[in-house]
Amino acid sequence: MIPILSPTPDNIRRAAEALRRGSLVAMPTETVYGLAGDALNPKALARIFEVKRRPFFDPLIVHISERSWVEKLCHQIPDGARTLMERFWPGPLTLVLAKRDIVPDLATSGLDTVAVRMPSHPVAQALLQEAGTPLAAPSANPFGRLSPTCAEHVAADFSDGIDCILDGGPCAVGVESTVIGWEDGKPLLLRAGGIALEAIEVVIGKVLEKTSATPVPQSPGNLPWHYAPRTPLELWNPGDSLLRANSGLLWFGTETAPRGFVHTENLSPKENLQEAAANLFSALHRLDHAGLSCIYAQILPDVGLGRAINDRLRKAAAAPHLAHEGDC
Ligand code: TXA
Ligand code: MG
C-alpha cells in the first residue's frame, strides 16, 4: 500500500527527500495528479516510465516553480512563449521549447525540445520549492488509462513503486494542461487542455491546430487512443438507437437524461464547461466501477474546455477492448 499523506510541511519535506533520492511521489496539480520524479536524474526518469508502463518514445512534461528555470532548461525562446508564460503561468499551460543539454534525453524521448509547465496548485508549488529541482510528471495513471483527479484514484491504480501520494484534494481543472509548441516560428496546438484555445489566441493570435499532415512526435496526445476506461466507451447522440443492455451514460446539460441507462452521470447540469472538465475523470472512474457492459458518452459543444473534453472522449472511444466481454 502506498501511503496517502496530507500535505503538511513535514510530509512535503519527506516527499522532497524521496524525490532527491530518485524515488517517485504522486503530487496533486490543478489539472490531474502527476507521477513526479527528479527531471534531472535519469534513474528517476527511467522509474517513471517503468512504474507507469509508458513507452519510452513518449516524452514527459517538466514542472518548475520559478521562471528562472526556463532559461536553464531551454533556449531560443519565442516571444510568444514569453507572452504566454506571463499571462497563464502558473497554470494549466505547457510550452514545448528548444532544450538545453542539462535536460536528460529520457525526459524528452531524444527530441531536441522539452515540454515545460509551472503548475499553480499550492502543494505542487511547495513540493517543487522544497525539492529544489524541476520535476518530470506525467499523469499518475497506468499508460493509456483514465487520468487521476484525486488521491484515491492514484492509490487504486498503483500498489508499489511510489514513495507516497500527497493528498491535495480533488483537482480543480480536471483535464490536463494545454500543450503549445512552435514550428517554423508559428505556434501549434499539440494538445487541447485546461486553458481554452480561444483564450490563448486572444493573447498571441492564430494558433495552428495539429492535423494529420503536421509532423509531430509520437506522444499520448497524438496516439489514436488514450484516456480509456476499462469498460468499452462509445460516443452517443440523443436519437441514436443502438443501445446495449446494462449500459451507462455520460450526460451534459439542463435537459433530463434519457431513460434506460443503469447509471447516468451529468458532467454539468448547468451546462458549464469548466465544471464539466472538473468532473470528467471522476465521473468516468465511477462509471468504470459500476459493472457496466458499455459507457455511452455524449459529445459536448466543441468550444472552450469542451474541445479538451471531446478530445479525451474521442480517444477513449478509440481504445481497443479485445479482452472485454459485451463490447458495444
Ligand atoms: O496537466 C498536465 O499536463 C499533467 C500534470 C501532471 O501536469 N501532465 C500530463 O503529462 O498530462 P502526460 O505525460 O500525461 O502528457 C504529456 C504530454 C504528451 O501529450 C506529450 O505529447 C507532450 O506532453 N509532450 C511532452 N514533451 C513533448 C515534446 N518535446 N514535444 C511534443 N510534445 C511533448
Ligand atoms: Mg496522461
Q: What is the pLDDT of residues 23-58, one digit of tens each?
A: 999 999 999 999 999 999 999 999 999 999 999 889
Q: What value does the mean pLDDT of the chain take?
A: 93
**The ligand 1 atom nearest the CA atom of 177:** 1
Q: Where do you find CATH 3.40.50.11030 in the chain?
A: 233-325
CA of 15 to the centre of ligand 2 (A): 22
In which band, very low, low, confident or very high, does the pLDDT at 224 lie, cut at 50, 70 and 90?
A: low
**4-209: which CATH number, 3.30.565.10, 3.90.870.10, 3.40.50.450, 1.10.150.530?**
3.90.870.10
Helix (H) or strand (E) holding 208: strand 208-209
Question: Would you say the pTM of this structure is higher than 0.85?
Answer: yes
How many Å apart are CA 146 and CA 61, to the nearest integer?
A: 18
Judge whether residue 272 has pLDDT over 90: yes
pLDDT in tens, 275-293: 999 999 999 999 999 999 9
Ligand 1 neighbourhood includes 59 CB (under 6 angstroms): yes
Return d(Cα 299, Cα 35) in angstroms, integer: 29
139 lines ligand 1 (CB under 6 A): yes
Non-local CB neighbours of 129 within 8 Å, separated by 6+ positions: 65
pLDDT at res. 328: 62
Quote the pLDDT of residue 218: 45
Nearest residue (CA) to ligand 1, atom 12:
138
Q: Is 71 helix (H, G, I), strand (E, B) or coil?
A: helix
Give pLDDT, residue 259: 85
Q: What separation in Å is there between the alpha carbon of 34 and the centre of ligand 2?
A: 9
Of 127, 125, 103, 126, nearest to 116 by C-alpha is: 103
Q: Where are the alpha helices (DSSP H) in 25-150?
A: 42-52, 68-73, 79-88, 105-108, 122-131
Q: What confidence tier does 324 reach under pLDDT thresholds 50, 70, 90?
A: very low
pLDDT in tens, 175-223: 999 999 999 999 999 999 999 999 999 999 999 987 654 445 545 456 6
Q: What are the contacts of 242-247 at 24+ separation with CB within 8 A?
A: 243/296, 244/293, 244/294, 244/326, 244/328, 245/293, 246/291, 246/292, 246/293, 246/294, 246/326, 247/292, 247/293, 247/294, 247/295, 247/296, 247/328
pLDDT at 233 > cutoff 50: yes
Q: Is the CB of 176 under 6 A from ligand 1?
A: yes
Could you write out the DSSP letters of every residue in 169-205? -S-SS-SPPEEEEEETTEEEEEE--SS-HHHHHHHH-
The pLDDT, as a whole number, for residue 214 is 46
At residue 18, the pLDDT reads 98
- Kind of pairing, strands 34-38 and 135-136? antiparallel
| CA pair distance 88, 147, nearest whole angstrom | 22
Q: Would you give the end-to-end CA distance of the chain in angstroms? A: 34
Give the position, in ligand 1's atom list, of the atom nearest the Cα of 221.
19
The C-alpha cell that represents 116 in the structure block: 515545460
CATH number of 233-325: 3.40.50.11030
216, amino acid identity = V
3-state SS class at 43: helix
174 lines ligand 1 (CB under 6 A): no
Which residue in this structure is represented by grid cell 517517485? 24
pLDDT at position 210: 75
* pLDDT at residue 257 greater than cutoff 50: yes
Q: Does residue 326 register a pLDDT over 70?
A: no
Please give the pLDDT value at position 227.
84
In short, whether 191's Cβ falls inside 6 Å of ligand 1 is yes
- Buried b / exposed e over 131-140, threshold 16 CB at 10 Å, is bebbbbbbbb
Parts of the chain belonging to CATH 3.90.870.10: 4-209
Instruction: Give 149 Cα–ligand 2 centroid separation in angstroms.
Output: 12
For residue 230, which of 290, 159, 277 has the smallest C-alpha distance?
A: 290
